[in-house]
Amino acid sequence: MTARASTGSRAPQGRGAGVAAAAGIHLRPLSPAEPDDASAQGREGCDSTASRQASPGAKTKARVPPDLARSLLWAALSGVVATSLGRRFHPKRLLRVAVEGSPGLFDPFLLRCRPPGSLRRRFGLRLGPLTASALPAGRLIPPATAIARRHPLSATSRAAVPTPSLRPAAAVRGFNLIELLMSMALATTVFMAITTLFVRQGEVIQQQNEQSVLNREARFGLDHLRADLGSLGSNTTPNSAIDPKVCPKPAIQLRALSLELGKGYVSAAALNPNVTPVSITLFGSLDIKTRFRTTRIEGTTVTLDPAGLPATQPEMDAIFAPDRFLRISGADGGSMFFPIVAANVGARTVTVNANIPRVANADPCGYTGLGANYNVDVQGFVRYRIVADARPGAKLDPGGKAIGSLLVRERLLTDGATVKSQLVLVENAVDLLVYDFGLKKKVDPSDGDVYLPKLVDEVVKPDGSGVLGTSLAARPEALRFLTVKLSVRTTWPTDKLVHRKREVFWQPLETWLLPGEVTGSHPVVTVAARVVFPTLLSRNL
């Protein structure tokens, strides 16, 4: 290490040159303009005795070279980026990046004022074996002249000098078992808390969605019932027994509305007491509201004008079905009701079950002339009630009874009791109730006073008697308004929801319990609507 470079400058010598050569770092040779005095340059910038004597009152601070700070910061950021990308970033690479990132890392200040022992204590690193090819040659040319002169070393011993290596120092502590277990316990607790929060939030959202669906389904069924109730008395008779416009009187009493108690199905009645759904039977132009004109009436046959008639026999049979009544009305407002027997699209005729009377001196009821230009429409019975879910695959309780219940709209035959067809409106319906009635107080049309029964048992009795019952003494024409309420339960029970039994039948229904459920119950959604009958008011029978 005593030879000089070809440029005339003196090559670096000593221990620093050996370390640099072994590490693959080419030290820049001194130029003639650089000072060769190790005492002048070797101690420049250090906290020497002279500097302390020059300012005895000043406090000296160890300053980190800017190149070193930038290098370490850049290396640390590179390590963070590499770690975030999933790559292993060994401390040896960290220092290598710092070395390659700034030529000032091996500045004379560091090795002159911070010897290798200080580096080990400061950074927790020590020098170890590293091949000469570990650091790319020619990449760094630090000004290490003073280093080589300050630590001279012979050529033979220079070859035996260990090359630098970067390994974690023994003094650096890792995680012990207790710390690791505590970290795992804390992470597990946080994870369980977050999981519980998300699970609970999902359950709440599911319950809200199910109740929203139930509310929509309940509204759908209630809207059907309201639409049929709203048309009561329109183009029909409120009560054929006392209506003077109905002549001749039909074989059975036709009532616009009648209520029945105890006709609704209750699933798990022992677990859900005081639930008595009502059955609501309506009569009128509820399905077919089209009017036709007659061209001739003779005996039991009514011939219709072709305008507006269906073109095919199935369509004709769907309108003039045997489960409906044919209503024939004249210009004076009189009406005749006859059950339909058959219809013929080719002949444009409808046949009824009895001879249609002609007006005569002894009989003021019937038609006049040939029976032309009379209005004809079809009317029938419709019943709303809650029935057992008897569909294929429906669940049964241990006693063999249906667990599910349905709100249905039933088409009845002309006897007003036999079911012709059934339409399911709402699943899991549990209660149908009518209350808050407005009834005309007296039969006298001049008396407009009304009374307001609150409960259904005030207007109808279990035996059918009452103002809105099914007996001959019923007066549905006195009805002015009422409130109808429908309750629907959820499909799945809610855990830890306490079942509250209904104490009396008019109390709100909050929960529903099925057999075998011990940890929860079903929430109940209830919808209600007030229905007014202006046609019945205008008829004022």
Q: In the chain, what are the domain boundaries?
A: 15-159, 206-539
Separation of alpha carbons 182 and 91, rounded Å: 27
3-state DSSP helix/strand/coil percent for the chain, to nearest 5? 25, 25, 50
pTM exceeds 0.75, yes or no: no
Can you read off the two tokens belonging to residue 259?
Answer: 């209520």
Residue 440 has what pLDDT?
84
User: What would the 3-class secondary structure string for 79-110 be?
Assistant: HHHHHHCCCCCCHHHHHHHHHHHCCCCCCHHH
Whole-number CA gyration radius for the chain: 51
Separation of alpha carbons 60 and 58, rounded Å: 6
For residue 70, give the nearest of 105, 94, 39 by alpha carbon.
105
In one letter, which amino acid is 284?
Answer: G
Residue 66 has what pLDDT?
56
Q: DSSP assignment of 353-374, as one string?
A: SSPPPB--SS---SB-TT-TT-
Residue 2 has what pLDDT?
39
Residue 73 has what pLDDT?
61
Separation of alpha carbons 411 and 419, rounded Å: 6
Task: Give the DSSP letter of residue 240.
Answer: T
Q: What is the pLDDT of residues 28-83, one digit of tens each?
A: 444 444 444 444 444 444 444 444 444 444 444 444 455 555 656 666 665 555 55
Q: What is the pLDDT of residues 521-541, one digit of tens each?
A: 999 999 999 999 988 887 777
Q: E strands of 206-287, at which residues? A: 257-261, 278-284
Residue 492 has what pLDDT?
86
Q: Contact 468/459 with Cβ under 8 angstroms?
A: yes
Residue 516 has what pLDDT?
87
Residue 539 has what pLDDT?
78
Q: Contact 437/484 with Cβ under 8 angstroms?
A: no
Asked, as a colleague might, if the bond just before 248 is cis with ω within 30 of 0, I would say yes
Instruction: Report the run of H or E that residue 195 belongs to, with start and end.
Output: helix 177-230
Separation of alpha carbons 86 and 38, rounded Å: 47
Q: What is the pLDDT of residues 112-161, one digit of tens each?
A: 444 444 444 444 444 444 444 444 444 444 444 444 444 444 444 444 44
Q: CA angle, 485 as apex, 436 and 457 as ends, to 5°?
A: 50
Residues of the chain with pLDDT under 70: 1-173, 442-448
Asked, as a colleague might, if the bond just before 523 is cis with ω within 30 of 0, I would say no
Q: Contact 223/252 with Cβ under 8 angstroms?
A: no
Q: DSSP assignment of 303-329, as one string?
A: EE-STT--SSHHHHHHHS-TTSEEEEE
Residue 231 has what pLDDT?
85
With a CB cutoff of 8 Å and minimum separation 6, the contacts of 152 are 13, 14, 15
